[in-house]
Amino acid sequence: LTSKLSEVFKKLTSRGKLSEQDVKAAMREVKMALLEADVNFLVVKKFIKTVSERAVGSEILESLTPGQQVIKVVNEELTNLMGSTVSKLTVASAPPSVYMLVGLQGAGKTTMAGKLAGYLKKQGKNPLLCACDIYRPAAIQQLKVLGEKLEIPVFEEGQKDAVKTALHGVQYAKDNGHDAVLLDTAGRLHIDTELMDELKRMKKAVDPHEILLVVDSMTGQDAVNVAQSFHDTLEISGVILTKLDGDTRGGAALSVKAVTGQPIKFAGVGEKLTDIEPFYPERMASRILGMGDVLSLIEKAQAAFDEKQAAKLEERIKSQKFDLEDFMDQLQQMKKMGSMSDILAMMPGMNASKLGNVELDEKQLSRTEAIVSSMTVAERQNPAIINGSRRKRIAAGSGTSIQQVNQLLRQFDSMKKMMRQFTDMERGGRRRGRMK
């Protein structure tokens, strides 16, 4: 098992204070991780500079290696940069509090309006949803469906005038005892002046307590431009990141925060109306770095792995020669390190559930050993040749069943695929790195 960050950790073994060289080496990897997470290039540059300055010369904690120390600093700074957890919405001194949701089309505004309304209702508030996306009948209908599900009223005036709808909606809330209004506005695929102009007029008309920019966390590099234009025109008061349940690394969070300086208040983490969370900067930092729980993984790995064997294995993985004998070796190493699922869960960018059940136990390990030793050398080196009759022979020879042989071959396959992913990831990263 290889990972770029762990490679760096291995290289850095000196003690004392962090040298410029230690920091430089680690920073290259950090930079790559940030760029891969789609953090804007300029934001990355500035960040690396700040962190390097802080890290060079700093004392290395007794319990950490220099590499770990650098990562610790990086993680802290990243968390700082994204701000503390501010999931509170500004509340109006005289109700109703008016919250205006803005953002590009498909960012998740309508869904988030529903989620926020539900969230406020749970806190004992009496929210009103207001349909200000008047350009498509379907948009109004979408909000009404959400309102019905949540049992929260939806104010709408059809497709007449977005600004007036907002104004009348706020008045309706005042007259009917609603203490919060959520304005669901229209988005476009790209920022255009007509849309911005309408939003500006709406802001002027209703003077909202918060303007929340809803950003799809998969937006990537473009997040900076989106945030910049919305902030320039509307002076947003906060950000909401949606679709964090996807496999994005979430670099948009950092970019948007860096550009607007406004706090990220909530995160959308799924399509259900209850899929809303306060924003957690520490979690986001680890996610952006793609660290999983790299630090503890490294510690475990170093305790159990024979360095030479690891190097040999890495070589074989890289040359795609990984075969069933290596698989056996690997399983035995894994066994020393704890369960395979535990380890996979700690790998950056790895989702153990995707790999199915690869849990190992003692019995399974000896069964695996028996099965592999019943194979011929040719079979071990090229499992593809193991056809039906070979499977039968191997099962009989190892005192197992054909199903068990099949299961092992499947496990081997998924492990091989996973390893290919790692090496591809590494190659991809290097290639991109060279282009700069």
Give dist(CA 87, CA 267) in Å, integer.
9
Task: Answer for the pair 152, 170: CB distance below 8 angstroms, yes or no.
Answer: no
Q: Is 207 annotated as a binding residue?
A: no
**Dist CA 97 CA 103 (whole Å):** 20
**66 versus 268: smaller Cβ distance to ligand GDP:** 268
Quick check: 186 and 113 in contact, CB under 8 A? no
Q: For ligand GDP, which is the closer residue by CB, 105 or 339?
A: 105
Determine if 137 is a binding residue for ligand GDP (CB under 6 A). no
Residues 4 and 289 sit within 8 Å (Cβ to Cβ) = no
Per the listing, tokens 């290395």 go with 60
Per-residue mark of binding to Mg ion, 70-109 (x: CB under 5 A):
---------------------------------------x
Does residue 109 have a known ligand-binding role? yes
Asked whether 184 and 208 are in contact (CB, 8 A), the reply is no
- Please state, in angstroms and rounded to a whole number, the distance separating the CA atoms of residues 305 and 303: 6
Strand 154-155 versus strand 127-132 pairing type: parallel
405 close to 394: Cβ distance less than 8 angstroms: yes
Report whether 127 contacts 121 (CB < 8 A): yes
Q: Tell me which stretch binds ligand GDP (CB under 6 A): 167-175, 242-250, 288-296, 371-379.
A: 242-250
Instruction: Select the binding partner of residue 248 from ligand GDP, Mg ion, none (C-beta < 5 to 8 A, by kind).
Output: none
Q: Shortest gap between Cβ of 110 and ligand GDP (angstroms)?
A: 3
Give residue 329's identity as a one-letter amino acid code.
D
Cα separation of 127 and 133, whole Å? 18
Residue from the set 111, 286, 333, 398 that interacts with ligand GDP by CB under 6 A: 111
Output 67 or 118, the one with its CB closest to ligand GDP.
118
Q: Which of 75, 97, 110, 248 binds Mg ion (CB under 5 A)?
A: 110
On whether the CB atoms of residues 7 and 28 are closer than 8 A, the answer is no
Q: Which of 257, 13, 265 has the alpha carbon at shortest distance from 120?
A: 265
Of 112 and 310, the one with the shorter C-beta distance to ligand GDP is: 112
| DSSP secondary structure, 20-58, as one string | HHHHHHHHHHHHHHHHHTT--HHHHHHHHHHHHHHHTTP
- The item of ligand GDP, Mg ion, none sharing an interface with residue 208, based on CB under 5 to 8 Å by kind, is none
- Residue 106 in contact with ligand GDP, rule: CB under 6 A: yes
Instruction: Report whether 363 belongs to an annotated binding site.
Output: no
Answer yes or no: is 85 a known binding residue.
no
Judged by CB under 6 A, which stretch of 28-36, 106-114, 342-350, 394-402 contacts ligand GDP?
106-114
- When CB distances are held under 5 to 8 angstroms depending on the partner's kind, the choice from Mg ion, ligand GDP, none that residue 270 binds is ligand GDP
Check whether 390 is labelled as a binding-site residue: no
Binding residues among 265-284 for ligand GDP as defined by CB under 6 A: 268-271, 275
Q: Which residues bind ligand GDP (CB under 6 A)?
A: 103, 105-111, 187, 242-243, 245-246, 268-271, 275
Binding residues are 103-110, 184-188, 242-245
Binding residues for GTP are 103-110, 184-188, 242-245
Q: Which residues bind Mg ion (CB under 5 A)?
A: 109-110
